[in-house]
Structure 1
């Protein structure tokens, strides 16, 4: 749940306002810089993990990988700026944190390990379900907003029927401009 809220807020903010835009050259530069920072941080953390042995090392490596996946996916989603990219980022981040949870469970034995793995799986499934549900919610809100605009456009066109000639043409043009039709 750690990173999911931040991505959900970013995702919903971009899509509920309907402001998905194409990637700009500045966005590409920011994306590449974020990926480079993530790669550098990953290498640094892996080097620190090399000093540890056993299961703590496995956990350290899994956390380093998860942090890199998190940074890469957030950067990619922000760069693409699409609902699909944000959803995919959340799913991949959830999978990366699932790997961390599995590494933590590896230190346990018996029923404790089984319970830990089931909890990790439940957390993964919940994060995936939340990501998909958020996507569907945002899509539904966008569809509803589009339906409302279409209905308002039809009302505006109907009001234009009260005019004739150039006045009607001006009214129709104004309605088309206002509602983006």
Structure 2
């Protein structure tokens, strides 16, 4: 039975992390606003459906509704902007939402089982947050490396232009400045 509960909790976390994006083609501000409004309306409906439950089942239902809204809004923002930063925010939203739901599920347990459940959920969240941080560092390092390469190529190009004279040299330098954004 213990493994069955762990399996169900794992499936729930996985499902939250991979909720399909129905609004993946958002491109304009009006479409983005419509998606946000729909997410708010869906949350209200989901939240109202939770009133039929009581106790921890209601708490779990409410957390699931909040998670769907939070992840849906983050997905809409990422689909609208397509920025890496919003992609990172989406991953963080998924991790935080999965943790919140798993934590509520853990409330049904007691003693050591509850402690283990909460720590497993927290570890899953921490792993995703760590992956996002590592991705930011890798992205930053790659951008710095590209800048260093571009600067080096620009300097090499300037040296080649120095071998020329007159209009040829001016044209060469102008082309380099345009190419390398200097």
Same fold (TM over 0.5): yes
Paired with 1:151 and 1:35, the residues of 2 have a C-alpha distance of 46
Pick which of 53-62 and 74-83 moved more: 74-83
CA distance in 2, matches of 1:133, 1:103: 28
Aligned residue number for residue 56 of structure 2: 55
1:97: which partner in 2? Answer: 98
Q: 2:143 and 2:79 mapped to 1: Cα distance?
A: 19
Q: Structure 1 length normalisation: TM-score? A: 0.78
Correspondence for 2:165: 164
Q: 1:4, 1:156 → 2: CA distance? A: 48
**TM superposition shift of 1:5:** 8.1
Number of corresponding residues: 162
**Is residue 44 of structure 2 the alignment partner of residue 43 of structure 1?**
yes
Query: Residues 160, 133 of structure 1: CA spacing in aligned structure 2 closer, same or farther, 3 A cutoff?
Result: same
Contact 2:91–2:132, Cα closer than 8 Å, also in 1: yes
- 5+ residue gaps, structure 1, are 7-25
Q: 1:47, CA displacement in angstroms?
A: 2.0
Q: How big is the alpha-carbon RMSD for the aligned residues of Structure 1 and Structure 2?
A: 2.3
In structure 1, the partner of 2:31 is 30
Could you tell me which residue of structure 1 aligns to residue 75 of structure 2? 74
Runs of 5+ consecutive residues of structure 2 not aligned to the other structure? 1-12, 20-26
Q: Determine which structure has greater relative contact order: mean sequence separation of CA pairs < 8 Å that are 6+ residues apart, divided by chain length.
A: 1
1:142 Cα offset (Å) = 1.2
Q: What is the CA distance between 1:178 and its match in structure 2? A: 1.3
